[in-house]
Amino acid sequence: MAAKITLAMLASAGTDEFPVIDLAGYLAGASGALDDVARQLRAALEEIGFLIVVNHGIGADLLDGVVERTRRFHALPFAEKTALGVDRGNGNGFTGYLASGGYSVRTSKVNDNTRPDLNAAFFMDRERPADDPDVLAGKLFREPNKWPTGLPGFRDFLLRYWDALEAFSRRLLPAFAAALDLPPDYFDRAFEDAQCVLRLSHFPAVGYAENQFGLAPHTDANFFTVLPQANVEGLYIRPRGRGWIKAPRVTGSLIINSGDMCRRWTNDRFLSTEHLAVNLSGQDRYSTPFFYTPHIDHPIVCLPTCCDAANPAKYLPITYGEYRVWWLDNNYRTRLEEA
């Protein structure tokens, strides 16, 4: 597949077609708000795959604070960061630091990504003690987090931030269920001990070679992603059958997009839209996506409202754990082994 995306193409992209949903009434439990938000959510995820939410209840202290903690982490000496390096060899985790150029996105359907991405990242999973039974058993994706020693308060802040993002994500599940004509509590059990991942990314102000990006075109593997506004712009999406769109900057908002698990679960009813990131601002860019997914062992079977005799299930059942192994191995493992 030949590369089709140029920086000039992205620089001229517009910012229209990003739906904005106000969650104030929904989070307050106002009458009719669930149905209203579900209707808007359904339209956004069936047509575009991305949306913006405002009045979401997460304070500016957390949203501004996570960008500042990301900046501080990536300002650490390189040796301190690489001491926390991601280790795919242990087979049960993906936590810690991944240097810029440490992987290539190879699952893209819109671009032949031949060069490694130019961003560095710190990955955090759910906090688990070393004596957690799943950790001791070496269960898939149950590796303890790796924390830097030279950043006082870093761990405590991120644990608080993590809790706030997971609680917010869980409060959205009734809206997702209602948007799919399911009972509001339909997804609750699937997201017990949810497999969440926080990524603190640094996109340096660098020049890109031909067919190179900060984060190459890809789809997310999870159910949905919550992305606070980065300190500078840089996110671009390409909805099905359309050109590239630049994500607008709405102060204090969150960007939400559905991922591959959501697409499979809904039998392609909800989209998993290709997107990329580049930093054309001339200054360091910090982005902090929170990936929300079901328990790794929960079976992803086509939802009853998304298939029938005329529209049979397109995918065999799979667990998120199985899918994530495939996704990581295709996009990360080869590059790590080469390094």
Residue 104 · residue 335 · CB < 8 Å = yes
Query: What is the arithmetic mean of pLDDT over 145-155?
Result: 95
Residue 309 · residue 246 · CB < 8 Å = no
Closest CA to 86 of 98, 73, 74, 103: 98
pLDDT band at 331 (very low <50, low <70, confident <90, very high): low
Residue 51 · residue 281 · CB < 8 Å = no
In angstroms, the CA 201 to CA 120 distance is 6
pLDDT tens readout for residues 67-85 = 999 999 999 999 999 999 9
Tell me which of 332 and 211 has the higher pLDDT. 211
pLDDT > 90 fraction of the chain, expressed in percent and rounded: 68
CA 318 to chain centre: 20
Stated pTM of the model: 0.92
Closest CA to 201 of 90, 304, 279: 279
Q: What does the mean pLDDT of the chain come to? A: 90
Q: Name the pairing type of β-strands 20-22 and 50-54.
A: parallel
In angstroms, the CA 173 to CA 306 distance is 17
Fold of 7-338: Jelly Rolls (2.60.120)
Q: Which of these ranges, 19-23, 103-107, 276-280, 315-319, has the smallest mean pLDDT?
A: 103-107
